[in-house]
Amino acid sequence: MDTMSQTVVLGVIGSDAHVVGITILEQAFSAAGFDVVNLGVQTSQEEFAEAAVAHDAEAVLVSSLYGHAEQDCQGFHQVLEEADVDAVTYIGGNLAVGQDEFEQTRRTFRELGFDPVSYKHL
Ligand code: B12
């Protein structure tokens, strides 16, 4: 019988070491009944893909705070595709450097292949 497990893979991409946000996300998703695989900070694109495959993830959640999300996510969806990952992908945090406009940021990450972006104004 299908166990209907809903696994969420979560991590902070690139060289980013901000850990508080994903710790809160981990707790929130666990409390909501998901199985959470928290890859922690400084996670590479390949590590996200490997974990998503290994755990047959429903969703991959990428966090980025330090302002380099756009560079760190270049080619990310190709890496996922090559690994045969079939999951929704979300990104959130502080996705741009400084005070740039939300719609522009959302467009940038949609074009990079992500589903709706959670974005925090600084
Ligand atoms: C604490 C902190 C640090 C600590 C981190 C300690 C640690 N181990 O976590 C230290 C001092 C190490 C640090 C270092 C740096 N930091 Co810092 N840091 C912060 C600070 C003050 C708070 C971050 C935090 O913990 N917030 C609390 C949590 C709960 O909120 P959050 O992280 O935003 O996460 C929530 C949401 O964003 C969202 N979310 C997050 N990820 C995701 C993902 C998805 C999918 C979704 C849906 C939602 C989501 O949900 C979370 C829970 O509510 C912020 C400023 C701020 N007020 O945000 C700067 C800030 C993030 N840091 C900044 C910078 C620049 C740096 C450094 C580059 C500074 C430097 N020159 O060295 C380095 C980077 C080091 C590195 N390699 O990562 C900038 C980033 C600027 C930008 N993006 O434009 C900020 C915004 C400060 C600023 N205003 O300039 N930092």
Yes or no: domain 7-119 corresponds to CATH 3.40.50.280: yes
Report the run of H or E that residue 63 belongs to, with start and end.
strand 59-64
| CB of residue 113 inside a 6 A radius of ligand 1 | no
Query: How would you write the pLDDT of the chain (122 residues) with one tens digit per residue?
Result: 345 669 999 999 999 999 999 999 999 999 999 999 999 999 999 999 999 999 999 999 999 999 999 999 999 999 999 999 999 999 999 998 876 788 888 899 999 999 877 766 54
Domain ranges of the chain: 7-119
Predicted pLDDT at 111? 93
Q: What is the DSSP letter of 115?
A: S
CB atoms within 10 A of CB 3: 5
Burial of 18: CB neighbours in 10 Å, binned 0-12, 13-18, 19+ = middle
Rounded-to-integer distance, Cα 105 and Cα 27, Å: 27
DSSP-derived 3-state class of residue 38: strand
The catalytic residues are: 16, 18
| CB of residue 18 inside a 6 A radius of ligand 1 | yes
Atom of ligand 1 minimally distant from the CA of 18: 9
Q: 5 alpha carbon to ligand 1 midpoint, in Å?
A: 31
Atom of ligand 1 minimally distant from the CA of 19: 9
Predicted structure pTM score: 0.95
Predicted pLDDT at 103? 86
Predicted pLDDT at 114? 94
The residue nearest atom 15 of ligand 1, judged by CA position, is: 66
- Checking DSSP bridges between strand 59-64 and strand 7-12, what pairing results, if any? parallel
